[in-house]
Chain A
């Protein structure tokens, strides 16, 4: 890197974004007490490169089930219905009624949206 004009763009911008992300993550974490959050944040601010590195390596893994997209209530509702029907906890008639209701609701929602 002889041309130093590119350095801020290529190094400083992503570094600031990364530090920002790290601080946001520290603030949002539910498993840390306030004092620990503060200590981590101070570390990241005082020694940004070393602090961010240590934090990201030491940060415990968050259960990925939280990341799973859930669609919306109706998409998941039909899957739940199918599962309880398969498990035998609702009868064929109950299933058919509930199923039709879900699709009718969707129909109504679409009509409301596009009319």
Chain B
């Protein structure tokens, strides 16, 4: 393998490819940052859990080794879901509050077996999905699994923290970043958690507690961990401002992984420092909002002439795409509206982050299946293949067309506000200076 990725079976390659196609359809941009490369051997990854279905999908995409995901056993009750979960090699976790048959002994035994085979297992140690931008109480399951597997004779277990950061988890075509931190080498670290001569197995509660808190610390390093949403938004926006200041060209896409690493770092500062930063960022954001601008537009100092050229380019692109976008709309308007309708449901964001992508896959999948079957009836196998090749192109055309139109509209609004920005330049620049001063000081 050219990039040092571990060997994969045909099934694993297929799973990753499928996850890749889905993730790139569902999200606009996915940035992945891995601080260490993931090798072969038994590995337990622990991740934050903000979105039920989206989290495992993103981890399969982001991890170089296809993980076996531990999930609540209640979802095995549904026929099709059960087959999918079994095919993915997922491991059922029984939770007492779900009642019904099953026990945790089975889960522990299957997790030990998986690690002993050298598999990569993923667990969401908070147990449930969260809508707050912070890590909940980390349960002891992860520590008990690795310690149990170790005393059962599995050597070389690594525990790897993963943090998933959603820009907006309840919306399709948004940005997301996945940060994968440094692994804990269990064989090396076990001595720090177990008193001399004490039991090294999962029955040793002190050791389990100690290892759990070590895992929690590593998880907090990579996962979003803020006091509240206001702080999360302000520190993330502030980090982007800092990085944009450093970039050679303010118009570059700031890597979301770098931005989220920086925001996480700022989130670990004292409450007073954070309050100071949040106030500065909010003041600047309010100034920007008053002008209908964002930081990038302000910094790139869009002139009337540059605006014109840029808009012209976007307009030409939109016009070239228009015929294909129309074909794409004709094919896809029903699933598109159905997914929009699902988005209107009044449920928690963590639930939406499951049902929106799932319903999109389902509705688009069924529509494409019917279209292909129709093409097969009408034009035979070659026609169906041709249709299968072109349908993603048409859907892509719709997506790029819509996103181009959106950019065009927002740059038009910017242009209308440009003279206002010039007249209040001093106010807004001092607000930006203030953000930089406070944040850079705090770094």
CA distance A27 to B389 in the complex (A): 20
A15 close to B261 (CB less than 8 A): no
Residues of B within 8 A of A60 (CB): 13, 17
Q: Are A68 and B255 also in contact (CB < 8 A) when A63-B64, A82-B262 are?
A: yes
How far is the CB of B263 from the nearest CB of chain A, in Å? 11
Q: Does B319 count as interface, using CB distance less than 8 angstroms? A: no
How far is the CB of A25 from the nearest CB of chain B, in Å? 14
A49 close to B386 (CB less than 8 A): yes
CB within 8 A of A64: which of B61, B242, B246, B253? B61
CB within 8 A of B388: which of A53, A64, A99? A53
Of the candidate stretches B28-36, B99-107, B403-411, the one touching chain A is B28-36
Q: Does A38 count as interface, using CB distance less than 8 angstroms? A: no
Tally of contact residues, A, Cβ under 8 A: 42
CA distance A9 to B394 in the complex (A): 12
A53 close to B247 (CB less than 8 A): no
CA distance A26 to B224 in the complex (A): 39
Q: Does B362 count as interface, using CB distance less than 8 angstroms? A: no
A103 close to B440 (CB less than 8 A): yes
How far is the CB of A31 from the nearest CB of chain B, in Å? 5
Q: Does A24 count as interface, using CB distance less than 8 angstroms? A: no
Q: Does A4 count as interface, using CB distance less than 8 angstroms? A: no
Per the 8 Å Cβ criterion, residues 14-68 of B in contact with A are: 16-17, 20, 23, 29-35, 61-62, 64
CA distance A109 to B253 in the complex (A): 18
Residues of B within 8 A of A64 (CB): 20, 23, 30, 32, 61-62
Chief secondary structure at chain B's binding surface: helix
Q: Are A75 and B255 also in contact (CB < 8 A) when A31-B2, A65-B34 are?
A: yes
Q: Does A90 count as interface, using CB distance less than 8 angstroms? A: no
Residues of B within 8 A of A103 (CB): 245-246, 440
A106 close to B246 (CB less than 8 A): yes
CA distance A72 to B252 in the complex (A): 9
A10 close to B255 (CB less than 8 A): no
Q: Are A15 and B386 also in contact (CB < 8 A) when A63-B3, A64-B62, A75-B254 are?
A: yes
B30 close to A75 (CB less than 8 A): no
A-B contact count (CB 8 A): 118
Residues of A within 8 A of B243 (CB): 71, 75, 78
Q: Does A39 count as interface, using CB distance less than 8 angstroms? A: no
Q: Does A111 count as interface, using CB distance less than 8 angstroms? A: no
CB within 8 A of A72: which of B31, B64, B247, B386? B247
How far is the CB of A28 from the nearest CB of chain B, in Å? 12
B255 close to A83 (CB less than 8 A): no
CA distance A18 to B181 in the complex (A): 38
- Give a binary string over A10-24; 1 marks a CB under 8 Å from any B CB, 0 the rest: 110011011000000
Residues of B within 8 A of A14 (CB): 324, 390, 393-394, 397
Q: Does A69 count as interface, using CB distance less than 8 angstroms? A: yes
Q: Does B257 count as interface, using CB distance less than 8 angstroms? A: yes
CB within 8 A of A61: which of B20, B33, B262, B386? B20
CB within 8 A of B261: which of A6, A9, A49, A83? A83
Q: Does A50 count as interface, using CB distance less than 8 angstroms? A: yes
CA distance A21 to B13 in the complex (A): 22
Residues of A within 8 A of B247 (CB): 71-72, 74-75, 106
CB within 8 A of A74: which of B16, B34, B61, B246? B246
How far is the CB of B377 from the nearest CB of chain A, in Å? 14
A69 close to B242 (CB less than 8 A): no
Question: Which 8 interchain pairs have the tightest Cβ spacing?
Answer: A74-B246, A61-B17, A75-B243, A14-B393, A68-B31, A61-B16, A106-B246, A79-B258
Binding site for B on A (CB under 8 A): 6, 9-11, 14-15, 17-18, 30-31, 49-50, 52-53, 56, 60-61, 63-72, 74-79, 82-83, 86, 99, 102-103, 106, 109, 113
In addition to A14-B393, A49-B389, A64-B23, 18 A-B residue pairs with Cβ atoms within 8 Å of each other are A10-B327, A11-B390, A15-B386, A18-B393, A49-B386, A61-B20, A64-B30, A64-B32, A65-B64, A67-B30, A71-B247, A71-B258, A72-B246, A74-B247, A75-B243, A76-B255, A77-B246, A109-B248
Binding site for A on B (CB under 8 A): 1-3, 5, 13, 16-17, 20, 23, 29-35, 61-62, 64, 221, 242-243, 245-249, 252-255, 257-258, 261-262, 265, 323-324, 327, 382, 385-386, 388-390, 393-394, 397, 440, 443
A and B contact pairs by CB, cutoff 8 A, 30 listed: A6-B323, A11-B390, A15-B386, A15-B389, A18-B393, A49-B382, A49-B386, A64-B23, A64-B30, A64-B32, A64-B61, A67-B30, A67-B32, A68-B32, A68-B33, A68-B257, A69-B31, A70-B255, A71-B243, A71-B253, A72-B248, A75-B258, A76-B258, A78-B246, A78-B443, A79-B262, A82-B262, A86-B221, A106-B246, A106-B247
